Amino acid sequence: MTKEAPGRVADVGAVADRTLENDHAVHLLRQMLRIRRFEERCVELYSRSAIRGFLHLGIGEEACATGVMEALLPDDAVVATYREHGHVLARGISMRATMAELEGKVEGCSRGRGGSMHLFDSATRFYGGNAIVGGGLPLAVGLALADKLQGHTHVTACFFGDGAVAEGEFHESMNLAALWHLPVLFCCENNLYAMGTALELTESETDLSLKAASYRMPSWKVDGMDVIAVEDAARHAVEGVRSGGGPHFLELRTYRFRAHSMYDSDRYRDKAEIEGWKHRDPIPALAERLTASGVLADGDLGRLEAEVGAEVDDAVAFADAGTDETVEDLERFVTSEPVERRPPR
Amino acid sequence: MSTVTYREAMRQAIRDALIRDDRVFLMGEDVGRYGGCYAVSLGLLEEFGPERVRDTPLSESAFVGAGIGAALGGMRPIVEIMTVNFSLLALDQIVNNAATLLYMSGGQFNVPLVIRMTTGAGRQLAAQHSHSLEGWYAHVPGLRALAPATLEDARGMLWPALEDPDPVLIFEHGGLYNTEGELADDAGPVDITTAAIRRPGDDVTIVAYGGTLRTALSAAEALAADGVSAEVVDLRSLRPLDTATIVESVARTHRAVVVDEGWRTGSLSAEVSARIVEEVFYDLDAPVARVCSAEVPMPYAKHLEDAALPQVADVVAAVGKLRA
């Protein structure tokens, strides 16, 4: 992590040597593995047409969602994008409900109404799943405003990609959150490409944390391929937000190993560039660290993989056995039904 | 009874809501210190403070989206947009978020938000402050669209809109703010689901809403002088449409003229006409007629703007053709 916005960023300390409790590090590894193996299975399911529509995978980016979610409390809110499988799983939404949603089943976390791009969960205050680039940022600002007006000390974590930074909604939301000193943690997952167009082809200033700093909010660059660095930065930022420090911004520098979506032939990226980033894969990086330090013994990784594989198998079986919502309910939830009205969250 | 303006009736409604429910707050451009671009919220900042009467930056998308987020978070925001033309800067939030979140989330996240905005022409504000785009919003499932045309509705539609668990858009015709009349001192919430017959009649049904209600009523008055009894239906709710009231009236009068300040093509008037034809075609003695704005960006010059807008004489002439 490097400092940004000179004079405005607290020293968050060296992260590489931080000693974590062993079981916590294994937990991080497990979470990243769950996301990775889940998404790899999604590819298979897509091939056999069990999943359709747009499917955006975050393979390579698992450390971002995993690290940030560790810093949040159950009552905090999350707003994410259409590349949000990892965020959903790391937030604690069941793999079963997530996979059922991808298969369009009524047991899915959005009853099959949303699909891969629109995963929602009221129990964990997970507000989507927004597939309009930049469209989630104003929502996050409003959720934070509601928390502030009601005297809550919740944090709203808002995820978006580098592409969103070019949208007007990004700048409007940065300004409003900073102006009103709202408890938002902006998490920019900078994977260097807005779909197929490289950052330097879309931004006059490619240092994205600098843009956020111009709105007078603490803004840090983070190695998004290092889950411990992400968690550490997120904990510092969340602490700052929760203690009344106003919005904070994390630029998580990451990379997606696979194409933008299943329809993308990935012509715009150099193979050597992709391979170069794969050498920084966050999952083997952490596994090797834990093995070298003796936290993981022989066979531990295999056992972890087997447990995760079993969870994925179970989720697919659950989704496959799920039910299609009755077509008679097509128009349900266009507007609220009296029985669906819930107390204010 | 007291004599009030439409503007004052709307202000009473907002003030009442702010008093009744701590979750309600008003947010928009110049709603606070300026008092509202049409002076609707004048004095409310002083009474309720800057937390509940919030001036926003010129960021329609962000503050409308923030209204959606705040509604999700347990508040009951009233968001004011200066004009429907400016609401296009927030179209993404209104159409892609407010209208869809409940459905996309499988019923988990409703959006109890009210968005108020000015609509309509007649004040020589030209082509970026005068259009009647409420029909676009009435196209979108998940939204409720209201058009208060009377003092009672200006006073009474806001509270039920706030009680609605889903997003409600209120379109206030800019030409109405200065209209004045008697309003009961205990005026309060009104029904927001039905159309209203503002003038009963037997020979023709004139359907109007918002700013064109006055036009329709004046036309009915003029027609009465010629011995023609016109019934005037005020839509009040643009989505959902109260089709039953419209077709019941037309089934009795056998003739219909739809008056709409929007453009004819793809308009609310087209929707109303289609529903009449779908439901009571065999009761009609003449084709459904429409009086709409000319298909031009609204011009500035007074005589051109007048020529572009539905006028009383146009409505009278349309009725005359139906009876010829």
**Residue B80 designated active-site:** no
For residue B200, tell me if it sits in a domain.
yes
Determine the average pLDDT of the residues in A299-327. Answer: 96
When pLDDT is cut at 50, 70 and 90, the band that residue A21 belongs to is low
Residues B25 and B170 reside in one and the same domain: yes
Facing A333 at nearest CB: one of B72, B73, B102? B102
Total of domains in chain B:
2
> Are both B219 and B291 inside the same structural domain?
yes
Reduced 3-state DSSP string for chain B = CEEEEHHHHHHHHHHHHHHHCCCEEEEECCCCCCCCCCCCCCCHHHHHCCCCEEECCCCHHHHHHHHHHHHHCCCEEEEEEEEHHHHHHHHHHHHHHHCCHHHHCCCCCCCCCEEEEEECCCCCCHHHCCCCCHHHHHCCCCCEEECCCCHHHHHHCHHHHHHCCCCEEEEEEHHHCCCEEEECCCCCCCCCCCCEEEECCCCEEEEECCCHHHHHHHHHHHHHHCCCCEEEEECCEEECCCHHHHHHHHHHHCCEEEEEEEECCCCHHHHHHHHHHHHHHHHCCCCCEEEEECCCCCCCCHHHHHHHCCCHHHHHHHHHHHHC
| Chain B nearest C-alpha distance from A249 (Å) | 17
Which pLDDT tens digit goes with each residue over A223-242?
999 999 999 999 999 999 99
Same domain, yes or no: B279 and B301: yes
Separation CA A306–CA A310 (nearest Å): 6
How far apart CA A36 and CA A57 sit, in angstroms, is 9
Return d(Cα A136, Cα A118) in angstroms, integer: 12
Residues B153 and B235 in one domain: no
Mutation target to probe the B interface, by most B beta carbons within 10 A, among A109, A132, A172, A326 is A172
What average pLDDT does chain B have?
Answer: 97
For residue range B130-179, list pLDDT tens digits in order.
999 999 999 999 999 999 999 999 999 999 999 999 999 999 999 999 99
Band of residue A263 on the pLDDT scale cut at 50, 70, 90: confident
Judge if B24 and B172 occupy the same domain: yes
Mean pLDDT to the nearest integer, B46-51? 98
What is the bridge-based pairing of β-strands A219-223 and B168-173? unpaired
Same domain as B66, residue B142:
yes
**Res B85: pLDDT:** 96
- pLDDT over 70 at A280, yes or no: yes
Same domain for B37 and B154, yes or no, is yes
Question: By the 8 A CB rule, do B299 and B305 touch?
Answer: yes
Say whether both B67 and B108 belong to one domain: yes
Residue where one domain finishes, among candidates B183, B204, B221:
B183
Asked whether residue B189 is assigned to any structural domain, the reply reads: no
Q: What is the pLDDT of residue A139?
A: 98
Which pLDDT tens digit goes with each residue over B52-110? 999 999 999 999 999 999 999 999 999 999 999 999 999 999 999 999 999 999 999 99
Of all residues in chain B, the percent with pLDDT exceeding 90 is 99
Beta bridge mates, A157: A78, A185
Domain presence at residue B190: no
Q: How far is A118 from chain B (nearest CA, A)?
A: 7
Local confidence band at A22 (pLDDT 50, 70, 90 cut-offs): confident
- For residues A151 and A75, give the distance between their C-alpha atoms in angstroms, rounded to a whole number: 13
Task: Please report the pLDDT score of residue A8 as a whole number.
Answer: 36
pLDDT in tens, A103-150: 999 999 999 999 999 999 999 999 999 999 999 999 999 999 999 999
Domain span at residue B156 reads 2-183
pLDDT at A12 over 60: no
**Does residue A5 have a pLDDT over 60?**
no
Residue B175 lies in a domain: yes
Residue B163 lies in a domain: yes
Mean pLDDT of chain A: 92
B188 belongs to a structural domain: no
Candidates A113, A138, A345; nearest CB to B74: A345
Spatial distance between the Cα atoms of B94 and B116, rounded to a whole number of angstroms: 12
Active-site pick, B8, B60, B231, B261: B60
Q: How far is B236 from chain A (nearest CA, A)?
A: 19
Give the number of beta-carbon pairs within 8 Å between A and B: 160
How far apart (Å, rounded) are the C-alpha atoms in residues B123 and B117?
A: 16
pLDDT of residue A9: 34
B314 and B238 within one domain = yes
Q: How far is B108 from chain A (nearest CA, A)?
A: 6
Give the model's confidence band at A20: pLDDT under 50 very low, under 70 low, under 90 confident, else very high. very low
Domains delineated in chain A: 22-318 (3.40.50.970)
Is the CB of A120 less than 8 angstroms away from the CB of B56? no
3-state secondary structure chain A: CECCCCCCCCCCCCCCCCCCCHHHHHHHHHHHHHHHHHHHHHHHHHHCCCCCCCCCCCCCCHHHHHHHHHCCCCCCEEEEECCCHHHHHHHCCCHHHHHHHHCCCCCCCCCCCCCCCCCCECCCCEEEEECCCCCHHHHHHHHHHHHHHCCCCCCEEEEEEHHHHHCHHHHHHHHHHHHCCCCEEEEEEECCEECCEEHHHHCCCCCHHHHHHCCCCCEEEEECCCHHHHHHHHHHHHHHHHHHHCCEEEEEECCCCCCCCCCCCCCCCCHHHHHHHHCCCHHHHHHHHHHHCCCCCCCHHHHHHHHHHHHHHHHHHHHHCCCCCCHHHCCCCCCCCHHHCCCCC
What phi and psi values does residue A191 have, to the nearest 5 degrees? -100, 15
- Same domain for B139 and B52: yes
Q: How confident is the model at residue B301 (pLDDT cuts 50, 70, 90)?
A: very high
Q: Which is the catalytic residue, given B8, B80, B129, B305?
A: B129
Q: Cβ contacts of residue A37 below 8 Å, gap of 6+?
A: A305, A308, A309, A312
Using a CB-CB distance cutoff of 8 angstroms, which residues of chain A are in contact with residue B96? Answer: 132, 135
Same domain, B140 and B230: no
- The answer to whether B68 contacts A129, with C-beta atoms less than 8 Å apart, is no
Is residue A3 scored above 50 in pLDDT?
no
Exposure string over B269-301, b if 16+ CB within 10 A, otherwise e: bbbbbebbeebbeeebeeebbbbbbeeeebbee
Q: Is-catalytic flag, B129?
A: yes
pLDDT exceeds cutoff 80 at A247: yes
Percent of chain B clearing pLDDT 70 (strictly above): 100
CB contact under 8 A, B72 and A149: no
Residues B138 and B214 in one domain: no
Q: Any residues with CB less than 8 A from the CB of A43 and at least 6 apart, and which? A: A57, A262
Report the alpha-carbon distance of residue A325 to residue B295 in Å, rounded.
44
Count CB atoms within 10 A of the CB of residue B202.
Answer: 12
pLDDT of residue B13: 98
Q: Residue A1 — pLDDT band, cuts 50, 70, 90?
A: very low
Question: Where does the pLDDT of residue A265 fall: very low under 50, low under 70, confident under 90, or very high at 90 and above?
Answer: confident
Report the C-alpha gap between B288 and B274 in whole angstroms. Answer: 9
Q: Reply yes or no on whether the pLDDT at A74 is more than 60.
A: yes
Distances in Å between the alpha carbon of B113 and those of A319, B76, B78, B80?
Answer: 35, 6, 7, 11
Which amino acid makes up residue B256?
A
pLDDT over 80 (residue A10): no
The C-alpha atoms of residue A88 and residue A114 are separated, in whole angstroms, by 13
Assigned domain for B177 exists: yes
pLDDT 10s digits, A325-343? 999 999 999 999 975 444 4
Does residue B55 lie in a domain region? yes
Domain boundary among B183, B214, B241: B183
What's the whole-number mean pLDDT along residues A66-86?
98
Q: What is the CATH number of the domain that holds B142?
A: 3.40.50.970
Q: Which residues of A touch B70 (CB under 8 A)?
A: 142-143, 145-146, 149
pLDDT tens digits along B15-44: 999 999 999 999 999 999 999 999 999 999
Interatomic CA distance for residues A22 and A297, integer angstroms: 12
Which of B161, B183, B205 is the endpoint of a domain? Answer: B183
